[in-house]
Structure formats: structure tokens, C-alpha cells
Structure 1
Amino acid sequence: MGGIHVLENAVVGFIGTGVMGKSMAGHLLSAGYPVHVYTRTKAKAQDLLERGARWAETPGEIAEKANIIITIVGFPSDVEEIYLGQDGLVANGKENTYLIDMTTSTPSLAQKIHAEAKKKGMHALDAPVSGGDIGARDARLAIMVGGDEEDFKRIEPLLQLLGTNIILQGPAGAGQHTKMCNQIAIASNMMGVIESVVYAEKAGLDPENVLKTIATGAAGSWSLSNLAPRVIQGNFEPGFMIKHFIKDMNIALEEAAKMNLDLPGLALAQSLYRKLEEDGLGDKGTQALYKYFMKSL
């Protein structure tokens, strides 16, 4: 096989050092990889720079210096600019570079990036993640990958530094479709989790005691175990921002419409979260859905 040996000669570029990206880039630094970082707000990368990461002024500069580039940014428009823009990764990258987009984006854009990268002799994978800030911090993310199997096998050792459940789901775009399945399941589950906490409080129960019981039974879920405690503590800071969750739900509903598929639970969740965004809570965590119910009481 041509290209690079991931574990020996990798120079990593990392774009997007937000809630999750900062921890993820940190794991790569801890593993001894040289890491070049770019993010729109340089202050968000300061901790990484102090640990030895090198700053790049543009995505194009990242492309010139790195042969494995990971991105985790906000919206599909950001992904398209970073990959396909004039100063982007595909235009400025080297042959045999591996491009790994871990943003939750659209399957069609992942397929487009894959095709454009292939024209330049580059290898593109869509690899969105689930697990939030906790999963990123603990390197226990679920990583759902779309792309060519040979490329996946080459890059898998690097992904193992970031997650514990890493599965190639199919060709380009399959990772993004899988992430939509993830977000669809979360959307209705989050409504149930928050309604459960609200019900416990209104019934005069101790919600912490309730959680100790129901989290170990059939109601158990990641959101119930990890986000319900934050609600009870009044902590609505983001492990995953509402505005990004709305973006994901929009993508899932658009993809569902293309398949003539009706998803009423997802549509309801989207409508509730949109109301929170209208109230200025778009930068809060998804558990801030609690505030919708408090407002309506």
C-alpha cells in the first residue's frame, strides 16, 4: 500500500478546538504526535499551544504541513469552506494526505469531499462522533466512519486514541447517515429524560434518588446517566450545544424527507429546541430542554 504509516510518520493537523476538539487534539499530543492546530478563535487553542501544539493561520497552512488532518467544526457550511474553499484542505493538501471530518455534517457533502479528494490522490473519511464532552475527555467516543475500507484500516490506530467504539459503516457518507440515526434516537430520549425529571420534582420526589433507581433499569440511557444529573444540579453548560443539535435534527429531517420517511418524534424535538434557541439558549447544552418545561409551568 502507498501513503504513510500512520503510527510512524504522521504529522497531524487539527481544525476546531471547541468543547470536544480541544480534548481530542490533546490526546493526540499526549500520544506523541506533532500536532498543528487551527481554530477561528486562537484563544480556544491556547492550552494546546502551551502543551506543544503549533499554530497555523489558515486551513491551507494546515494542509501544507500535515499528512493527517482532522476537523470537528460547527456546520456543514464550515466544513465545505474548510475542505473545498480556495484556501481549503483539498486545494492545498499533498497527495496521500488523510482527511478525517468528525463534524456532524450532511452525507451528500461527505460524498462530495471524498470524490474531490480522490481526484487529488487524497483519502477522505467522514467520521462523526458521539459521546459529548465526557466521551471526548475520556477518549471513549463512538466513532462512525464512512469511506474506503483500506483508508479506514490505515487510519484506525489514530482513531483508537479518541474512541473505543469505532466502526466502518460503509462508503463515503455512511458515517454521517449513522450519526443521523444516533441523533434521532437521542432527540426523543432527551424529551423523555427531561419530562421524567420534571415529573419527579412536581411529584415531590427527590430526583437524585429517582435517578439512582431508574438509571439502572429499562429506562437507562447515556442521557439519563450523564445529563439528568446536570439538570438536577442546575448545570446547563454545553457538552453539546443546542444550536448544533438543531443543525443535526435539520439534516436528519431533510434526509428523511428524501426517503419519504415521517419522523414525528424528531420533528417534535426539533420544534421544542427551536423555541429554546429563540429564547437565546442556543449555546447551552441539550439538557437545557428542562428550561422549556419550567417556562411552561
Structure 2
Amino acid sequence: MIIENTTAFTEFLLAGLSDISELQVLLFVLFFGIYVLTLLANLTIILITWLSPNLHTPMYFFLGNFSFLEICYVSSTVPKMLSTLLAEHKTITYVGCLTQMYWFLLLGGTECYMLAAMAYDRYNAICRPLLYSVVLSRRTCLQLIFGSWIIGAVNASIHTALTFTLPFCANKINHFFCDIPPLLKLACVQTWANEVTVFLISGSVIVGSFILTIISYGKILSAILNIRLSSGKKKTFSTCASHFVVVMIFYGSGIFMYFRPKSSYSMDQDRLIAVMYTIIAPLLNPFIYTFRNSDVKAALSRLVDQIIITQKL
């Protein structure tokens, strides 16, 4: 349906995750399971870090906040995606689309700098252990988290405002959620200003935080190579390597998505890439960052034991 201007319609049509109708139910079951598992894993982390006094340290403070962020991040896109998989009319209201884009960009931008803050935390713990509690004070941790949310909010406000002031000639979004690239494809006018803004602002957010993260992991790697005990080196390297894999999935897919001209957008390909940083990365994060940690495993075991004892009483 061709639309004359933005005041002539009140909703968008979402193409969804797949155009093959026979796959809709299967995809719903698969991604519903992933969504529930992601929520349960992150809620468990929040509960453990809150109830375990021995986990009241900067590292777990960041992990608890990161888990809360992940719950919000995955919930900004997946519930609507699940509903469109089973719906006959895959629509989202104009206001709903605007709101979804704002929260997705806010949470995504916040996650970029939260990952950088967590890498900085690990750098101080491994490379400057004697100064760790001084450098990562409660106030500093709060400032890093608050700063991450501020950067995410500014990033989201700029892109959402610029995107939704464009006149749209069509209302079918060839994607499973409202994102910048598919909406730019619907614009009736030249979008070079939007593309330059995405490149500059998103470049500052994504690439800037990525560089900070890489610097921290680079220094950690250098410190690991100086560890004499092979067992200690292997354990620390394994932990940081797994962290780095998740970082590369999140940043790599995000950079690929937003750092291309509009003419090179391929929405079928981009939907697959978007799944990586909107669904797969949030699923992997709690298991990579937290559940492989021996302290968390011990705290989870104690919590389960307490629940069992309480039920018996």
C-alpha cells in the first residue's frame, strides 16, 4: 500500500522473521523457548547476586545490572516478533513502532558501554588487583552504569527523532521489528543526512565502546601471557576468550548492520544478522559471563539447598 504522507496511516506492516508460512509455528516454538530461557537465566543471576553477600563485589554488581539490561533488551523486540509469527495481520502501530525503536536503540547503546565497563572491571581485577577496590568503588560503578544509560538515551533520542520526521511512501517494514535501516528504505525523500548521522553517532557509540573494550582485553591478554603458572594462565585465558567471543558477536553484527549505505541493505540477510545481536547474544551472555564462574555455581547451589530445606520445613 502506497502512502502519501505520514499522517495518512496509523500502523506499519511487519514482514516478520520468515516469509514461509509453514515455518511460523516452528519458529515460534524455537524462539519462545530461547526467550523464556534467556529471561530465567538473567533473573537467576539477579537473584543470586542480590541474595549472596559474598557476591556483593563490583564484578557481580555489573553482572546483575547487565542481566537486568538484557531482560529489557530482549523484551523490546522478541515478544512482538513472537506475536507476528502467529498473527494473520502482522501490524504494529505508528506509536508502537516509534516506541520499539527508541527502547531498542536505548538498550543497545547502553549495552555497548556496559560491556566496556565490564571489560574495564576485569582489567582492573587482573592487571591491578591491589588497587581494584579503590579504583572500582561503589560510586565509580554507579557512575559507569549511569553513564552507559545516558549515552544510550541520547543515541536513541537522536536516531528516533530523525527517522520518524521522514515522510514514508510505504508502510510495509521488511523486518521483524522497527529498526533504522528498514525504515529508511520506506522514506519518500533522500536519507543521506540520516545515514551520515547513523554513521557518526552510532560510530561513536558502537566503535567507541568497542575500542575501549578491546583495549581492556588487550591489556588483560598481555597480563595473562606473563602468568607463570600454566593452570592459572589457561583458566584466565579461557574465561576472557569466551567473553571476547560474545563481544565479537554483539559488536560484529551491530557494525555490519549499521555501517553500510542504504543501497547495500539486504533485508533477508539483515534479518538473520539481527537475530544474532537481538536474540542469540542475550541468550549466550548469562552462560558465558556468569554460570561458568565457580563463585556463582557455589552461590546457586546454596540457594537451591536453602529452597529445598525451606520446602521440607
What's the TM-score once normalised by structure 2's chain length?
0.27
More helix by share: 2
Q: Which is richer in strand?
A: 1
- Structure showing greater relative contact order (alpha-carbon pairs closer than 8 Å, 6 or more residues apart): 2
Considering only CA atoms, is the larger Rg found in Structure 1 or Structure 2?
2
Relative to the length of structure 1, the TM-score reads 0.28
